[in-house]
Amino acid sequence: MIEVRRMDEYDRDVRDEVADVILDGFFAQLSFVTKDRSKLVTAFRDDIRADMFYVAELDGAIVGVLACSNNTGRALVANTVSFRRAMGLVRGTVAARVLAREFNAALPYDDDTGYVEWVATSEHARGRGVSTALFQHVMQHPRYRALVLEVVDVNDNARRLYAKLGFVEYDRKPARGVDVQGAHLHALDQECCSHPAGRLGGLAACTTT
């Protein structure tokens, strides 16, 4: 049985486990920074906002994560101090500066809109409903009337999942910067309508219950 809870509800430190699952989903996009996965775990672990990350457990192990950011801040930021500690002064400074353009950008949404990002599942747990369980949990959040997500056109599996969960496309835009943002999730409401196709990224939306 899959159990979902917010990260700050744990009474133990799960930052390394959460960072490891994030990298299961995004290491290919982030490997330009360093091929050493452990350095990325070190760079990210201290800047994960436990009040914005949701964690899925299966058989007692953390196997999935989903972050829900909002207009007050992002769930995971690129912190120069953390990156320098993990990678050294020069590489850490450059990496944090590049990633901050995407990870640290303020969100232009209303107070009652959540921006879903950093959705990832451990390789051995894929196909077992982990992402669905995370989404269903977050969609019950009393703060958010709507959720927004972003997905690249070529990610057909993700697009099918989001459509099944009730997301509808309302905009398209070219991918920009590091190709990690396009894999993140965001959402608005179903009153948004589709727009003409752009080059790559698509925005989808759904109302919460």
173 burial via Cβ count (<10 Å: 0-12, 13-18, 19+) = middle
Supply the pTM of this predicted model: 0.83
Q: Which residues of 3-35 are buried (b: 16+ CB within 10 A; e: fewer)?
A: ebebbeebeeebbebbbbbbbbbbeeebeebbe
Alpha-carbon distance 137 to 3, whole Å? 10
**3-class SS at 20?**
helix
* Alpha helix ranges (H) inside 54-124: 80-87, 89-103
Per-residue confidence (pLDDT) for residue 170, from 0 to 100: 76
- Mean pLDDT over 78-99 rounds to 96
The pLDDT tens digits for 9-20 are 999 999 999 999
C-alpha atoms less than 13 angstroms from C-alpha of 147 in its C-beta half-sphere: 25
Average pLDDT over the chain, rounded to an integer:
84
Answer yes or no: is pLDDT of 95 > 70. Answer: yes
Alpha-carbon distance 131 to 182, whole Å? 17
Weakest mean pLDDT among 71-75, 134-138, 202-206:
202-206
Alpha-carbon distance 131 to 119, whole Å? 7
* DSSP-assigned letter for residue 105: P
Would strands 168-173 and 146-152 be described as parallel, antiparallel, or unpaired? unpaired
Per-residue confidence (pLDDT) for residue 153, from 0 to 100: 67
Alpha-carbon distance 127 to 107, whole Å? 31
Please give the backbone phi and psi of residue 61, each rounded to the nearest 5 degrees, phi first. -115, 145
Q: How confident is the model at residue 168 (pLDDT cuts 50, 70, 90)?
A: confident
Six token digits for residue 207 = 């109302």
Domains by residue range for the chain, with CATH: 2-207 (3.40.630.30)
Instruction: State the residue for tokens 């101090």.
Output: 81
Per-residue confidence (pLDDT) for residue 86, from 0 to 100: 98
The pLDDT tens digits for 112-124 are 999 999 999 999 9
The pLDDT tens digits for 30-76 are 999 999 999 999 999 999 999 999 999 999 999 999 999 999 999 99
Tell me how far CA of residue 76 lies from CA of 99, 155, 161, 197, 205, in angstroms.
Answer: 11, 22, 24, 29, 21
